Chain A
Amino acid sequence: MSLDDLKKIPYGKTSIELKNISLAFGGVKALTDVSFDIKKGEVFAIIGPNGAGKSSMLNVINGFYKPTSGLINFAGTDRNAMEPEFAAKSGIARTFQNIALFKGMSTLDNLMTGRLLKQKQNFLMQALYFGPVEKEEAEHREKVERVIDFLDLQSIRRTPVGSLPYGLQKRVELGRALAMEPEILLLDEPMAGMNVEEKQDMSRFVLTVNNELKTTIVLIEHDMGVVMDISDRIVVLDYGKKIGSGLPEEIRDNKAVIDAYLGVSDE
């Protein structure tokens, strides 16, 4: 298992800062005044009960949702909102809670779509398909093969992903995001619905990517064991509000967090 050829990210500085983000759909408040920052190279977890606004937060970060108010500081500029295309170009890759793969395409083609932004040959050259185009395809293919090796996807390279079992689909989706060589990787419940063994595999993949490539990981996950094990810092949302943040051990002892998860007694 080696990721030597993929790009490595420098560690430590603030990568993206969310300032007082609020998001409302009509009268429904999905997020209220949420602020936190994500540092380069860390594993950052967003947790909270169902409907807390975790996925909404991720959608704000990669530009699917435009916040009603608040600012996003990214790449040195305060922005009102991100654009999905800009986010992808700036190195933000993501996976989805309900797997969003190109179901009719093979594993290989799905991963190759992750390389689209990095392919420089223009439309006309592509249409003619000769010389430089072929060479470029081969280069990108090589990077994708790295990811395939890393995630152990060799045997399903040519299989249309729609016919793969759930756990493998999740893995292909991670592969597509990795093929983008992202600086920030947003993972929306990457281990939902997996058995213990699959969860261990997935944790190992995420940690290896984080260790070897220094990729910043932003993770939404319900399995507290996994979250406490692999996260550097955690933010907790409940009903769209931030109710706690800090290191895993701080979160474990945080009264507000425990109340949100277990309910408050009337005593």
Chain B
Amino acid sequence: MSVELLNFIETVLNGLMSGVMYSLVALGFVLIFKASGVFNFAQGVFALFAALTLVGYQTGQVPFAHVINELFGTNYHNWYASMPNFLAIILTMITMIALAWIIERLVLKHLVNQDPIILFMATIGLAFALEGVGDLMWGSDVKVLDVGIPSGGSVWLEEATIGLAAEGSDYYGMYIDVLNVWATVIAVILVITLALFSQYTKTGRALRAVADDHQAALSVGISLRTIWILVWAISGFIAMVAGIMWGTESGVQFSLSLIALKALPVLILGGFTSIPGAIIGGLLIGVGEKLAEIYIGGYFETGALENWFAYVMALVFLLFRPQGLFGDKIIERV
């Protein structure tokens, strides 16, 4: 094989794996959008908040320590030195479920039957509020997150691929981060579990029913409120997985919530209402981005093609297929 081909394969693989993460965040958006018609702007902040909370539990941080110390002149920082990873993850899950419940109670419940734009505005408010709460609760410093997922380049793959290049060429093997491989495996398991759950269980059936038709769902006795809490909790859970992966890679910091906005071009590609669309859209954006960076990135002096290329892809796509790859067809009845 030629070195060019090997480089191309490496780029595509890396693109696919970063695409999986985009898919995961986009999936959170799609689930909520299908079930409650809300475009949840706060999805990225969910990921951030989950990661912050996880680190907080792991390291025994006292929530709101800064506020408490300021008010009462105390000096609390940590309850305990550390907590087992799996316990911390379970506690974070419970927190995300509680968060979903609180959001339903405080926000959604009061906005039933309002225009989508009003609900959208509410989620923008929610995003900022939650970011503020996260800051107050856990502090704004960049934190290291380590839940024991291995990271670093895969030595095995590097060694296995060195021999593939043509004799005498200057090739050092493929570089793939093990963390990304783990992220991909976990995301795939998550998606399959979700698919099985929604296909074969009673609650899953109720979930699909609500996504399809609110009135009909009410008429067979499905409680919209329960389903909404469930959907927001699942989205919170997905956000947590994304938060763990990104947090492990680049530290838990507030810019995490912005990365999540990459899900927007993914949704435009895949369609707002399609779960397979979210997955394939994420992969396309991931691969497209990486390929563009490598092959045409050199022509842009400012670099950082990766930051905006996805949006350009989405714009071009909008011209030809505004409903996305798998979205519901837009039909205007006259």
Interface residues of B in 196-219 (CB under 8 A from A): 197, 200-206, 208-209, 211-213, 215-219
* B225: nearest chain-A partner, CB-CB: A85
Listed by A's residue number, 11 A-B pairs whose Cβ atoms lie within 8 Å are A85-B223, A88-B218, A93-B220, A94-B219, A102-B209, A104-B211, A109-B205, A114-B220, A116-B220, A126-B201, A126-B204
Q: Is A88 within 8 A of B219, CB to CB?
A: yes
Q: Is A62 within 8 A of B222, CB to CB?
A: no
- B34 smallest CB distance to A (angstroms): 10
Interface residues on B, range: 20 to 34
Interface SS majority for chain B: helix
Q: Is B208 within 8 A of A102, CB to CB?
A: yes
Query: Which residues of A are found within 8 Å of B222, using beta-carbon distances?
Result: 85, 113, 116
B221 within 8 A of A: yes
Choose the segment among A8-16, A72-80, A117-125 that binds chain B (4+ C-beta atoms closer than 8 Å). A117-125
* B208: nearest chain-A partner, CB-CB: A105
Given contacts A84-B219, A94-B219, A101-B216, contact A116 B202 (CB under 8 A): yes
Query: Which residues of B are found within 8 Å of A103, using beta-carbon distances?
Result: 212-213
A180 within 8 A of B: yes
A129 within 8 A of B: yes
CA distance A116 to B210 in the complex (A): 12
Q: Is A113 within 8 A of B213, CB to CB?
A: no
A112 within 8 A of B: yes
Interface residues on A, range: 20 to 34
Query: Which residues of A are found within 8 Å of B216, using beta-carbon distances?
Result: 96, 100-102, 176
CA distance A116 to B201 in the complex (A): 10
Write the B49-72 contact mask toward A (1 if CB under 8 angstroms, else 0): 000000000000000000000000
Residues of B within 8 A of A (CB): 197, 200-206, 208-209, 211-213, 215-223
Query: Which residues of A are found within 8 Å of B219, using beta-carbon distances?
Result: 62, 84, 88, 93-94, 96, 100, 177
Query: Which residues of A are found within 8 Å of B204, using beta-carbon distances?
Result: 126
CA distance A90 to B209 in the complex (A): 20
CA distance A64 to B216 in the complex (A): 11
- A175 smallest CB distance to B (angstroms): 12
Given contacts A88-B221, A116-B221, contact A104 B201 (CB under 8 A): no
CA distance A263 to B200 in the complex (A): 55
Query: Which residues of A are found within 8 Å of B205, using beta-carbon distances?
Result: 105, 109, 112-113, 116
Given contacts A101-B213, A102-B212, A126-B203, contact A89 B220 (CB under 8 A): no
CA distance A127 to B212 in the complex (A): 21
CA distance A176 to B215 in the complex (A): 14
From the candidates A64, A85, A104, A126, name the one contacting B212 in the complex (CB within 8 A). Answer: A104
Query: Which residues of B are found within 8 Å of A121, using beta-carbon distances?
Result: 202
Query: Which residues of B are found within 8 Å of A84, using beta-carbon distances?
Result: 218-219, 221
- B112 smallest CB distance to A (angstroms): 12
Q: Is B221 within 8 A of A127, CB to CB?
A: no
- A1 smallest CB distance to B (angstroms): 24
* B216: nearest chain-A partner, CB-CB: A100
CA distance A62 to B218 in the complex (A): 10
CA distance A62 to B206 in the complex (A): 19
Interface residues of A in 23-79 (CB under 8 A from B): 62, 64
Query: Which residues of A are found within 8 Å of B209, using beta-carbon distances?
Result: 102, 105, 113, 116
* B34: nearest chain-A partner, CB-CB: A104
* B197: nearest chain-A partner, CB-CB: A127
CA distance A177 to B219 in the complex (A): 9
Q: Is A105 within 8 A of B212, CB to CB?
A: yes
CA distance A113 to B129 in the complex (A): 37
CA distance A96 to B218 in the complex (A): 12
From the candidates B197, B215, B223, name the one contacting A96 in the complex (CB within 8 A). Answer: B215
CA distance A119 to B221 in the complex (A): 12
Q: A64-B218, A104-B211 are in contact. List 18 more A-B contacts (CB 8 A).
A: A64-B215, A84-B219, A84-B221, A101-B212, A101-B216, A102-B209, A102-B216, A105-B209, A113-B206, A113-B209, A113-B217, A116-B221, A117-B220, A117-B221, A126-B202, A126-B204, A129-B201, A177-B219
